[in-house]
Structure 1
Amino acid sequence: MSTEIPTREQLVRRISELRPSLRDKAGWAEENRRLHDDTIDALADAGVFKLRTPKRYGGFEADTATLLDVAAEMGRADGSTAWTAAVYWIPTWMASQFPDEVQDEVFSTPDVRVCGTLSPTAMATPADGGVVINGKWGFISGAHHAHWQEVIAVLVGGEGEPYPIMALVPMSDLLIVDDWHTSGLKGTGSVSTVAKEVFVPQERIMPLPAMLQGQYSSVRNADAPIYRAPLLPVASASSVGSVLGMGNAAKEFFLKRLPNRKITYTAYESQREAPLTHLQVASASLKLDAAEFHGKRLTSLVDTKSVDGTSWKLEERAQARADMGAVCALVKEAVDIFSTASGGSSIYTDVLMQRIQRDVQAVNLHALMHPDTNTELYGRVLCGLEPNTLYF
């Protein structure tokens, strides 16, 4: 593949060409609870894993508007594929904030995949030259195909009060617990991982509060626009495209079936002739339009402020999370309408609509994506109160 950085349109076109094969492998992914190796290879060939990698390592340093469009195109094919790719983008971006010598190690692997979490469910203790970590992390999407994991642990036993740290750990140092038995996003392979007496050198450690407040350690990335924004707005903007894609997939699938479906026990030989259907399709479509508005407002905010380098207002940071929550809520409402209008035949497991509905439901239950949590945070800030979380 050419070393020239592809345009957004070229990247979307590559994924569009992959849609049949991605959808074909989605059933295997559901059954085996992880993405197919062929899917990972296809995404790598398309450049998906280079989008948030620094240019000096062959990456594209793509803005979040590009992430939205690429993820939306993947989501039209398969929700689990889009979700996993989007999850890789976030810790890859985080790895780009570590000291430059650490990046040299991480990005020495072509198409490196970094998984991770923001939950501090492990403990770390000081050791000569670093820390020793013990603990377990859940919901680690893409762990089976990752090379590194970004982990969070609470450092205890040193000077001062305990505090959370972020560390980069090779997957070879961790144990994978195959516990991903779920109703939605089955193909993401979001298993648990375990650290048992894992030593992490000091250079691969950053204080989590510093990362959340934009106090990064990289010198060579300091002037690159995509690495200037705060973590949570970046994570929010990286996530919404996959959800929009799922919503668009539901609409496309519904309209494709529509002409040949009658409404049983009524006089309608074609569902598309019923006024009820017109209301359902229009209502759901307007919700998808509104979701797209929030997604694009979010990516525009992140990308604009990244380029001009202006500081983030508290309200803007809260709005970023609120926009992400709005995308999730509106897409779920739209998919629920399409699903309700799809009839009894849609409950069969080989019908795409039920998988989309389950995947969208799973996204809406995610702690960071949850619409209610994000809306409450935004309202709290609008009312003049301080955020009651570090994650904004």
Structure 2
Amino acid sequence: MITHEANSFSNILVNLRDLRGELRNSAREIEEHRRIPLNIIERLRGIGIFGMCFPQSWGGAGLTSIEQILVLEELARGDTATAWCAMIGCDSGIYSGFLEEKSAKEIFPHANLAVAGWIHPQGKAEIVDGGYIVTGKWRFASGSPHGDVISAGCFLYRNGNLILDDNGKPLWRVMLARPADYLFSDTWFTTGLRGSGSQDYSTQELFIPEQHAFNFSAPKRQGPLHKTPDAILRKMAGIPLGLARACLDYIYDVADDRTDRINDVKWRNSKRVQTAVANAENQLFITRNAVLTSVSTLWQALEADAAHDDITHWRVQSALSRRNAFQTARTIVSSLYDLQGGGSIYTHETPFDRALRDINTICQHAVAQEKVLQVCGDILLGGKVEDYFI
């Protein structure tokens, strides 16, 4: 049952806690069908998940980046793929802030529309009168089976020539269109995150009106979600944090029922299990607090219109703590997988097989890669912020 005033942060969390058990029970179906069931998508819409980044004036929840992290953390405690699709889908509210309001209303007539697609510029957008002719193929359209709006990153061309900015860098835009404008290919047969439906998609000579494309460096809406382009990434750490927490939840739930064969005692009384759990909790506590502290301080700096160097510093700290959340969650899940022993290998006996596959898959995302360290180190040593998404 969805509570009243579902758009408030507290009510969203209450409703998600009610949904957690249903997500866990649906995990097998989600994996096997390789998409989120429509009944769960409609539950997410009703709770206000896809509208949580829209301002309240649009009928959205207007959540801060910290609140978004906590929402995704709660979702990931139920199902990682559902949380991933929610993380992508709610970017609709962020994208709308880079469009003129009239154009944003054309694309997003209400605040509960989910976006899907890849913003990395892989396509070609030829500039023509009134807009662009777009051709290309993209990957990783998470949530595409239920997406209402599809995003596609494109390099800009004029008369067949790539357009460069004053620094010699290619210009690019994110194009927004309807799913019917693209051809989707069911390529999503993966190690983990199988339920996200992250299909490939393509189009040939699609006309996109100029007002339906945007540039992350030119926001039209004020506020911390639009002052810097990293807002779409800030919330991502909630997913590995929630997944690690779900694995610990399971250990606590079965601690009285399982026997540690090495010592022939219940898990709850096993020194080996006690040590493993304490170590995992310590790692998760430190990692989670680094995420929340860095993102909260960055949000405050953006709200206060702080000096550029201060904002850059906390963007770097946010990026580093986010990467660490992914990598530490992988360490925690792996350690609990080993703690479980032989039972971990069975697909449906425990959550650990799926959890290990999911965490390894999401750790292939760019935010979890070693390049993040190099880019952040460059900035810390005096370099400029040249990567949009740290």
TM score, norm. by length of structure 1: 0.91
Equivalent in the alignment of 2:108: 107
d(CA) in 1 for partners of 2:153, 2:302:
26
- Unaligned ranges ≥5, structure 1: none
Equivalent in the alignment of 1:384: 382
The within-5 A match list for 1:132-147 is 132-147=133-148
Equivalent in the alignment of 1:169: 177
Q: Is the 8 A contact 2:124 2:154 kept in 1?
A: yes
Cα offset, 1:151, TM superposition: 1.3
Are 2:117 and 1:119 equivalent residues in the alignment? no
Q: Is the 8 A contact 2:96 2:108 kept in 1?
A: no
- Give aligned pairs, total: 379
Cα offset, 1:303, TM superposition: 2.4
Equivalent in the alignment of 1:309: 305
Equivalent in the alignment of 2:189: 181
**Cα offsets for 1:229-263 (capped at 9, x unmatched):** 3111x122221112211010000112222222223
Cα offset, 1:387, TM superposition: 4.6
Equivalent in the alignment of 1:286: 282
The within-5 A match list for 1:316-331 is 316-331=314-329
Distance verdict in 2 for CA 1:311–1:195, change over 3 Å: farther
Equivalent in the alignment of 1:8: 9
d(CA) in 1 for partners of 2:10, 2:4:
17
Cα offset, 1:201, TM superposition: 0.7
Cα offset, 1:390, TM superposition: 4.1
Cα offset, 1:19, TM superposition: 1.0
Cα offset, 1:272, TM superposition: 3.0
- Unaligned ranges ≥5, structure 2: 165-169
Q: Is the 8 A contact 2:55 2:93 kept in 1?
A: no
**Cα offsets for 1:113-157 (capped at 9, x unmatched):** 112323111111122211111111111110111111121111122
TM score, norm. by length of structure 2: 0.91
Equivalent in the alignment of 1:40: 41
The within-5 A match list for 1:321-360 is 321-350=319-348, 351-360=350-359
Equivalent in the alignment of 1:258: 255
d(CA) in 2 for partners of 1:5, 1:349:
35
Moved more, 354-363 or 28-37: 354-363
Amino acid in the other structure paired with 1:331: A
Distance verdict in 2 for CA 1:389–1:267, change over 3 Å: closer
**Cα offsets for 1:168-195 (capped at 9, x unmatched):** 1111211111100001111111111111
- Supply the RMSD in Å over aligned alpha carbons: 2.0
Moved more, 120-129 or 36-45: 120-129
The one of 268, 272, 275 equivalent to 1:272 is: 268
Cα offset, 1:6, TM superposition: 4.2
Q: Is the 8 A contact 2:120 2:153 kept in 1?
A: yes
Are 2:212 and 1:201 equivalent residues in the alignment? no
Distance verdict in 2 for CA 1:267–1:167, change over 3 Å: closer
Matched residue SS, 2:200: strand
Q: Is the 8 A contact 1:229 1:302 kept in 2?
A: no
Amino acid in the other structure paired with 2:135: N
Cα offset, 1:106, TM superposition: 1.9
Distance verdict in 2 for CA 1:263–1:17, change over 3 Å: same
Q: Is the 8 A contact 1:83 1:242 kept in 2?
A: yes
Cα offset, 1:327, TM superposition: 1.0
Are 2:365 and 1:369 equivalent residues in the alignment? no
The within-5 A match list for 1:4-83 is 4=5, 6-83=7-84
Matched residue SS, 1:182: coil
Q: Is the 8 A contact 1:71 1:85 kept in 2?
A: yes
* Identity score, percent: 22
Cα offset, 1:358, TM superposition: 1.3
**Cα offsets for 1:77-131 (capped at 9, x unmatched):** 1111111101112343122221111111122145111123231111111222111
Amino acid in the other structure paired with 2:137: K
Q: Is the 8 A contact 1:228 1:309 kept in 2?
A: no
d(CA) in 1 for partners of 2:36, 2:28:
10
d(CA) in 2 for partners of 1:135, 1:19:
38
